[in-house]
Amino acid sequence: MPQTNYQTQQEFFVDMQRCIGCRACEMACAECETNGHESMIHVNYVDRAVTIQTTVQVCMHCDDPVCANVCPADAISKDEFGVVHTANTARCIGCSNCVMACPFGVPKKNEAYDLMMKCNMCYDRTSAGKKPMCATVCPTQALYYGTREEMARMRPNSTPVNNFLFGNEKVSTKVNIMMPKGSTQLIVD
């Protein structure tokens, strides 16, 4: 990688309860130069039958990324800052292993390109010391990029959690999800 100004003290925080489904993040994501102007972020209804709550999903940048492990073409890599990069365009064979194996449902397969694409935390911006596009436009700060201290000051009743349990698998990530104070992990069953 070229010389960077990546701010290691800055972290990504996702607060699902604050998402209002405005999709500003989707529009902003498409401005990211590294995506080739494709939006990589997901906005979903949590459970539309019972609640109007929406939620937003960025790549969680796992410590041991399943997507990279199941890639048969060695197309996905994690850098020294813990950012899991989108598929290397020369290597990706469009098999969708990563799309189906990611426990968070993040990677997208672009059928026309025969290529997997995913959020790489706006590396063009974060490597220059800026915040990711989605976090700069989110009106409710459901997506926030900053320091742990800033977060603790702003959300005293929340705890950032980056440990998840999917069945028997414990997954730890670079990106945090805001949980009620004192939580240590999010169990997805």
Partner 1 sequence: MNTTLNRKAILIATLVSVLVIATVFYGSRKLQNFDPALIGYLFGTVFAFFGIVYRYSVWLQRPPTWMYFKRTWQFVFKGQVFAHLYFFIKEFIQNIGFQKFIYPRGRSRWIGHFLMAVGCTMAFAITFPLTFGWIHFTLNPETSLNPDSVRMYEAHFFGFKVFEFPLGSFIAFFTFHALNWCSWLVIIGVLIFMRRRLTHAGLISIQSFDGDLLPLILLLAISITGLGLTYDYQFMKGMAYDFMAVTHAVTVIMFLIWIPFGKFFHIIQRPAQIGAHIYKREGIKRGMAVCPHTGKEFATQMHIDDLKTVTKELGFDFTRADGTSHLDLSPEGKRSRLGMAHLKARQQDGGKLFG
Contact between 124 and partner 1 by CB under 8 A: the answer reads: yes
Q: Token pair for residue 162?
A: 């980056």
In the bound state with partner 1, the residue whose beta carbon lies nearer, of 147 and 169, is 169
In the bound state with partner 1, the residue whose beta carbon lies nearer, of 14 and 24, is 14
Contact between 130 and partner 1 by CB under 8 A: the answer reads: no
* Closest approach of partner 1 to the CB of residue 90, in Å: 4
Cα–Cα distance for residue pair 160/157, rounded to 1 Å: 10
Cα–Cα distance for residue pair 185/172, rounded to 1 Å: 9
In the bound state with partner 1, the residue whose beta carbon lies nearer, of 127 and 135, is 127
Cα–Cα distance for residue pair 152/115, rounded to 1 Å: 39
In the bound state with partner 1, the residue whose beta carbon lies nearer, of 46 and 147, is 46
Cα–Cα distance for residue pair 71/46, rounded to 1 Å: 29
* Closest approach of partner 1 to the CB of residue 22, in Å: 16
Among 25, 29, 87, 104, binds partner 1 (CB under 8 A): 104
CA–CA–CA angle 175, 180, 186 (5° rounding): 50
Contact between 93 and partner 1 by CB under 8 A: the answer reads: yes
Q: Where are the alpha helices (DSSP H) in the chain?
A: 24-29, 66-70, 97-101, 123-126, 133-137, 148-154
| C-alpha separations of 16 from 83, 105, 109, 134, 155 in Å | 21, 15, 24, 14, 13
Contact between 84 and partner 1 by CB under 8 A: the answer reads: no
Contact between 128 and partner 1 by CB under 8 A: the answer reads: yes
* Closest approach of partner 1 to the CB of residue 141, in Å: 10
Among 20, 30, 101, 137, binds partner 1 (CB under 8 A): 101
Binding residues for partner 1 restricted to 32-71, rule: CB under 8 A: 32-36, 42, 44-47, 51, 53, 55, 57, 66, 69-71
By CB atoms closer than 10 A (0-12, 13-18, 19+), residue 64 is exposed
